[in-house]
Copies of this chain bind each other. A is one copy, B any other.
Amino acid sequence: MADNASGSDSLLFLTDEQLRKGIEAMFFAYRGFTADPDRILEGLDYGRAHHRAIHFIHRAPGMTVSSLLGILGVTKQSLNRVLRTLFDDGLVEARVGKTDKRERRLHLTDKGAALERALSDAQRARMRAAYRTAGPQAVQGFRTVLEAMMDPEMRRQYQGLREDSP
């Protein structure tokens, strides 16, 4: 209720023109969002798919293959191609589940953790700059809108990720 420029109280922010601006903002911003990690990955034989796998394994160590599948929303064949190269290159290791031996619990090796750090440092640097420029209140709004834009299942993934019990 504080910022009143351009009709905050009215419904003017729901016009097609405003929505289009939001749509294009998502498009252009996502490019920036992926640009820095992409630059690191290129030449290393890895792509965005590897980045995503590494990110979420780092995020929730001990995660099983099938929960990773659920988060990434791809087929097991597709994920497997990625995971295989990560195993072969010694970035990720799979430990047989303790209670259920069919499960593969995924962990980053030191080498994998190093790459993860390089990638997320780059990505966070941009994020941090954007956050700092925009300020805390804008960041709050940013997160709120993004969350509202997710599919319900994805929102659960987003909110509910926690370290998988080993």
Interface residues in chain A, defined as those with a beta carbon under 8 Å from any beta carbon in chain B: 1-3, 7-9, 13-14, 16, 18-33, 35, 52, 55, 59, 73, 120, 123-124, 126-151, 154-155, 157-158, 161
Contact = CB atoms under 8 A, between A and B. Distances in A.
B155 A28 contact: yes
Given A3-B137, A23-B124, A139-B13, A145 B130 contact: yes
Contact of A146 (B18, B29, B158): B29
A56 to B, nearest CB: 9
Majority DSSP secondary structure for residues of A touching B: helix
A127 B141 contact: no
A122 to B, nearest CB: 11
A20 B143 CA distance: 11
B148 A9 contact: no
A149 B1 contact: no
B149 A130 contact: yes
Contacts of A155: 28
B149 A126 contact: yes
Nearest to A3: B137
A104 to B, nearest CB: 23
A8 B136 contact: yes
